[in-house]
Amino acid sequence: MNMLKTLALVDSAINIPTPLGAALALKLTAVAAVHAKGTAKLSGIASLAELASGTVPMAPITAAIDMAPSCVIEVTAHMAMDATILRAGTAIKALVHAQMPIAADVAIDMATWKMSAKVKLPTAPQQIASIEVMPICYVDVIHAAPKAAMFETVVAEIADPTIIAAFPIKVG
């Protein structure tokens, strides 16, 4: 069995006007990916249709499960002030990765409805989860293309370029 499912959990944004005149933009996004890989063996019945038919088999039903499910979730939250030509803000990005191998044998006696389960624990140390949090600050300069020229640009050549070197330039 190999299953992969991706989900967009949250994708929401709102702009809130402020007395300053610059809008406060809030945005929250969260995405997840779930992956399960492994095997599941069912014995004691000919098919799942036999179990669904309502006839109770007298032999015990056993299942052997060996799976390695994992899940990754990424959550990003933005808060920014949008002032037409400049956007400054902060964000936080959290990435959570979890995985846990599962191995078990399950037996169900259909005549008495008794169930027994044996869970096989890993012998080696396992990392089952990791969390990564990244704070972000940013400033975006937005250059809007002018719709019409407000000023006329004049390019003039300097007759004697050495004259520029004669002007003292003070730094500091």
Per residue in 55-74, pLDDT (tens digit) is 666 678 888 999 999 999 99
pLDDT given for residue 170 in this prediction: 52
This prediction's pTM: 0.63
Mean pLDDT of 157-171: 54
> Is the confidence at residue 85, as pLDDT, over 90?
no
More confident residue, 73 or 163: 73
If pLDDT is split at 50, 70 and 90, which confidence band does 19 have?
A: confident
Widest distance between CA atoms in the chain: 107
pLDDT tens digit sequence for 114-158: 899 999 988 888 888 999 999 999 888 876 655 555 556 555 565
- The helix/strand/coil state of 170 is coil
Mean pLDDT of 70-80: 95
- The helix/strand/coil state of 151 is coil
Residues near 159 by Cβ (< 8 Å), separated by ≥ 6?
A: none
Report the relative pairing of strands 61-83 and 23-43 from DSSP bridges.
antiparallel
Domain ranges of the chain: 2-146
pLDDT, the chain, mean: 82
If pLDDT is split at 50, 70 and 90, which confidence band does 21 have?
A: confident
Q: Specify the CATH class of 2-146 in words.
A: mainly beta
CA distance linking residue 41 with residue 65, whole number of Å: 7
Where are the alpha helices (H) located in the chain, listed in sequence order? Answer: 48-52
